[in-house]
């Protein structure tokens, strides 16, 4: 998403999307005091002069709520996977991360505190509280060929979108793709879904998994990944319904309920978003991990976040704290994705996982966020 994976996840707009089944219930956390502002000393994010959206303020480890009680074992495998395609933010630490894969908790904690300098993220106005939303990887049943009950296509990108003089130029809008036979004749369906709302979810999330029935009756599970768009701007369906005063609950469950209650108006609401997503099919190499994010690393449920790359470099290790009705978390996460709605100094989209339980969580997460990013000590 995320690579365009989140681009759309962006679609999590208005908190309309988010998340997943947490394998373990998050521990309650004590109230978090807002950090003192303005900060006494402001640092520049590491190794990238284009990171202009945030200020990094050096702080002691004792400033990180919950750090002393944090379990490092659950995140070490995520750190090792992050080092499979390391960025400048983490590459120098990867030999130690690999070496410490067989170390005990005290050795890992000592190395963390000696190697990394925590920095509180804040805006240029000194605001350290931001916003957390969530996204997920949906799963749907599909058919390889169109059949009664499965008549909603997922398309591969047309040649005009991928190459030629029209590349990177707006192609046909969502409405034109849905209604014009001459446009549809230029498109190759990859699979067919039963529910147009499910297709919209895939367009918003940017990737998913399909249990697809082939023409010979075999059922396979495949990944469906973002390939391209029609180069129109994204417009939030939830925002359109709010502006029309059709609903007050702009979470994804609220939006889905409205769409299911108003099937005759569904298509016109979809067309308020002219952006259309084209997909490619990929094998599922490891069902335990999510789709690749913008960094190119497979996402890990409840440990990978999408960030504004102008605020945090891909691959960065961060301490995330949030309190709200859906999640209470104090834990290490990695910046491995992005999305068009993920903008600002203290803004993150948490990858909640795969499947309907992840979607139930992701659709409702919209709550306060604090972030501390780690930079190697000199």
pLDDT digits (tens, 9 = 90+) for 53-70: 899 999 999 999 999 999
Q: At which of 251, 282, 313 does a domain end?
A: 282
Alpha helices in 173-236 (DSSP H): 174-179, 181-184, 196-205
pLDDT digits (tens, 9 = 90+) for 152-165: 999 999 988 887 66
Rg (CA), the chain: 21
Tell me: do 120 and 190 sit in the same domain. Answer: no
Above 80 in pLDDT, residue 1? no
Q: What is the pLDDT of residue 332?
A: 97
Q: What is the pLDDT of residue 249?
A: 77
Mean pLDDT computed over 107-121: 97
| pTM as predicted | 0.78
Tell me: do 202 and 262 sit in the same domain. Answer: yes
Tell me: do 191 and 252 sit in the same domain. Answer: yes
Tell me: do 102 and 129 sit in the same domain. Answer: yes
d(CA 337, CA 175) in angstroms, rounded, equals: 29
Above 60 in pLDDT, residue 234? yes
Tell me: do 144 and 89 sit in the same domain. Answer: no
Mean pLDDT computed over 223-242: 90
Mean pLDDT computed over 130-138: 95
Q: At which of 255, 282, 309 does a domain end?
A: 282
Above 50 in pLDDT, residue 27? no
28-31: long-range contacts, CB 8 A cutoff, minimum separation 24: 28/328, 29/65, 29/66, 29/321, 29/323, 29/328, 29/329, 29/330, 30/65, 31/323
Average pLDDT, the chain: 86
Tell me: do 275 and 298 sit in the same domain. Answer: no
d(CA 371, CA 79) in angstroms, rounded, equals: 18
Tell me: do 331 and 358 sit in the same domain. Answer: yes
CB atoms within 10 A of CB 21: 18
d(CA 13, CA 323) in angstroms, rounded, equals: 19
Tell me: do 18 and 124 sit in the same domain. Answer: yes
Mean pLDDT computed over 146-155: 97
Least confident residue range of 134-148, 239-253, 316-330: 239-253
User: 149: domain CATH number?
Assistant: 2.40.240.50
Tell me: do 342 and 366 sit in the same domain. Answer: yes
Q: How many domains does the chain contain in total?
A: 2
**Degrees, nearest 5: CA angle 314-316-321:** 120
Tell me: do 111 and 170 sit in the same domain. Answer: no
pLDDT digits (tens, 9 = 90+) for 5-25: 433 334 433 343 333 333 333
Residue whose structure tokens are 């240029």:
124
Tell me: do 36 and 118 sit in the same domain. Answer: yes
**Degrees, nearest 5: CA angle 15-257-9:** 30
- pLDDT tier, 45 (very low <50, low <70, confident <90, very high otherwise): very low
Q: What is the pLDDT of residue 256?
A: 86
Tell me: do 181 and 80 sit in the same domain. Answer: no
Q: What is the pLDDT of residue 215?
A: 96
Q: What is the pLDDT of residue 50?
A: 64
Residues above pLDDT 90, as percent of the chain: 70
Query: Sign of torsion, CA 269 294 84 81?
Result: negative
Q: What is the pLDDT of residue 147?
A: 96
Least confident residue range of 27-36, 73-82, 277-286: 27-36
Q: At which of 229, 255, 282 does a domain end?
A: 282
Above 50 in pLDDT, residue 137? yes
User: 101: domain CATH number?
Assistant: 2.40.40.10
- pLDDT tier, 166 (very low <50, low <70, confident <90, very high otherwise): low
Above 70 in pLDDT, residue 125? yes
Q: What is the pLDDT of residue 316?
A: 96
Q: What is the pLDDT of residue 31?
A: 39
Above 70 in pLDDT, residue 93? yes
pLDDT digits (tens, 9 = 90+) for 309-368: 999 999 999 999 999 999 999 999 999 999 878 999 999 999 999 999 999 999 889 999
Domain that holds residue 261: 137-282
């Amino acid at each position: 998403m995320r690579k365009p994976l989140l681009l759309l996840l962006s679609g999590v707009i208005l908190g309309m999307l988010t998340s997943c089944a947490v394998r373990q219930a998050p521990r309650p956390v004590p109230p978090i005091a807002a950090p003192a502002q303005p900060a006494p000393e402001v640092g520049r994010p590491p190794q990238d002069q284009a990171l202009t959206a945030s200020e990094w303020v050096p702080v002691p480890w004792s400033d990180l709520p919950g750090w002393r009680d944090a379990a490092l074992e659950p995140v070490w495998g995520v750190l090792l996977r992050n080092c499979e395609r390391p960025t400048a933010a983490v590459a120098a630490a990867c030999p130690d991360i690999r070496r410490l894969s067989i170390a005990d908790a005290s050795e890992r904690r000592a190395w963390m505190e000696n190697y990394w300098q925590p920095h509180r993220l804040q805006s240029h106005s000194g605001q350290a509280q931001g916003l957390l939303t969530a996204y997920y990887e949906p799963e749907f049943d599909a058919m390889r060929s169109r059949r009664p009950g499965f008549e909603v296509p997922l398309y591969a990108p047309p040649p005009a979108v991928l190459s030629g003089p029209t590349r990177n130029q707006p192609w046909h809008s969502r409405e034109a793709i849905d209604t014009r036979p001459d446009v549809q004749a230029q498109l190759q369906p990859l699979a067919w879904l039963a529910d147009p709302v499910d297709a919209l979810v895939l367009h918003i999330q940017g990737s998913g998994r399909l249990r697809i029935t082939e023409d010979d009756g075999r059922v396979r599970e495949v990944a469906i990944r973002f390939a391209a768009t029609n180069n129109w701007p994204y417009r939030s369906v939830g925002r359109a319904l709010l502006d029309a005063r059709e609903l007050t609950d702009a979470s994804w469950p609220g939006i889905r309920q409205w769409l299911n209650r108003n099937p005759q108006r569904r298509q016109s609401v979809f067309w308020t978003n002219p952006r259309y997503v084209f997909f490619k099919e990929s094998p599922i190499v490891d069902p335990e991990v999510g789709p690749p994010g913008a960094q190119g690393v497979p996402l890990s449920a409840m440990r990978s976040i999408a960030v504004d790359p102008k605020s945090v470099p891909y691959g960065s290790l961060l301490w995330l704290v949030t309190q709200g009705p859906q999640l209470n978390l104090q834990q290490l996460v990695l910046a491995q994705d992005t999305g068009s709605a993920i903008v600002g100094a203290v803004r993150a989209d948490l990858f909640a996982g795969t499947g309907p339980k992840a979607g139930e969580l992701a659709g409702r997460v919209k709550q306060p966020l604090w972030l501390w990013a780690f930079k190697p000590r000199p």
